[in-house]
Amino acid sequence: MTNASLPPTGTLGVAVIGAGMMGADHVRRLDQVTSGARVAAVADIDDARAGGLAAGIDGCTAHTDPVAAMDAPGVDAVLIASPGPAHEAALLAALERDLPVLCEKPLTPDAASAQRVLEAEQKLGRRRIQVGFMRRFDAEYQQLHALLAAGTLGRPLLLHCRHRNASLHPYFTSEMLINDAVVHEMDATRWLLGQEITAVTVILPAPSSHAPAGLSDPQFVVLETERGAVVNVEIFATCGFGYQVQAEAVCERGTARIGEAHGLMTNVEGRWGGEIAPDFIGRFADAYDREVQAWADATRRGAVTGPSAWDGYAAAAVCEAGVAAQRTGERRAVTMIDRPALYAPEGG
């Protein structure tokens, strides 16, 4: 999808909204890794945090108000990395200014707010939003995607997924394990299998004694797809030993697994072993680099590529069913609006 009215191919000035763990990492990336882009402004409710990041970058201004950052000199595009509940307002402000956006997942925390974003983008008449489902840029995920698309293994029947974090921010709730963590598997399922998710069930084992009081961790999520595949996701967010994301596709003629081992393998003192990344910043560093570079490149040539606001909406709709399934213990069907013409798949 291309747009005629985007900035010419100079260096892309980016306003980064949110300077927490992910925002700070994106500021570093845009400043030191991404070519053809620079950080023009940083916004965070914590002015010291925004100021600290901006101070290290030539010509970068610091703000506590996201809208002021979007209106700052030299801003051509916006990267939103604030917490999910703040995304809708920032997205609507960016669309009002006709600015291209890379928005970290989730697009928004629920389907109704995601739908309002879709409506605003449709009113603008062109796509401006890419959603930060970075797994689509991970080398192993891309290999699995290509293998499944080629059909070599036959029809996918099952997808087994594991998603483990060493620990969690204290503000995480049981619902956020669905909306903020399993949302990645929801998008990965739609993308890998090329099918919509039609129903969600969430089973809650007795919580780990390491889970904070009141947090249901781990959780076991079952997704059903429109052509009858079944996907299970273990989310275990306080596993303590590291960050692991794994997936195994079981197809009619074979299986394929990713995420089993990465990095250095050692043989020492009668044991062999590898390393487990401590967090997603390290595990998906290459994916984030490729994602942000692809966004900057597309934006500079006036195009919008990658996961769209529609993908963000679809994941939000599945999350909503997931949260209801978690609350009630029942299998919940996913309800979605029809896909608007603006989000028709390329070439189809």
Q: Residue 304: name the closest of 125, 156, 141 by CA.
A: 125
- For the record, the structure tokens of 255 come out as 């299986």
191 binds ligand ISE (CB under 6 A): no
Interface with ligand ISE: number of residues (CB under 6 A): 6
Pairing of strands 262-268, 230-236: unpaired
Q: Which residue is nearest to ligand ISE (CB)?
A: 181
CA 157, CA 60: separation in Å to the nearest integer?
50
Is the distance from CB of 106 to CB of 179 less than 8 angstroms?
yes
Taking CB under 6 A as the criterion, the residue among 34, 108, 130, 165 binding ligand ISE is: 165
Is the distance from CB of 202 to CB of 219 less than 8 angstroms?
yes
180 binds ligand ISE (CB under 6 A): yes
CA 89, CA 279: separation in Å to the nearest integer?
28
Rg value, the chain, Cα: 20
Distance of closest approach, residue 123 Cβ to ligand ISE, in angstroms: 29
Distance of closest approach, residue 180 Cβ to ligand ISE, in angstroms: 5
219 binds ligand ISE (CB under 6 A): no
280 binds ligand ISE (CB under 6 A): yes
Nearer to ligand ISE, 161 or 181 (CB): 181
Coil vs helix vs strand at 97 = coil
CA 201, CA 219: separation in Å to the nearest integer?
10
Taking CB under 6 A as the criterion, the residue among 49, 127, 184, 190 binding ligand ISE is: 184
Nearer to ligand ISE, 280 or 313 (CB): 280
Interactions with ligand ISE, residue window 20-79 (CB under 6 A): none
Binding site for ligand ISE (CB under 6 A): 163, 165, 180-181, 184, 280
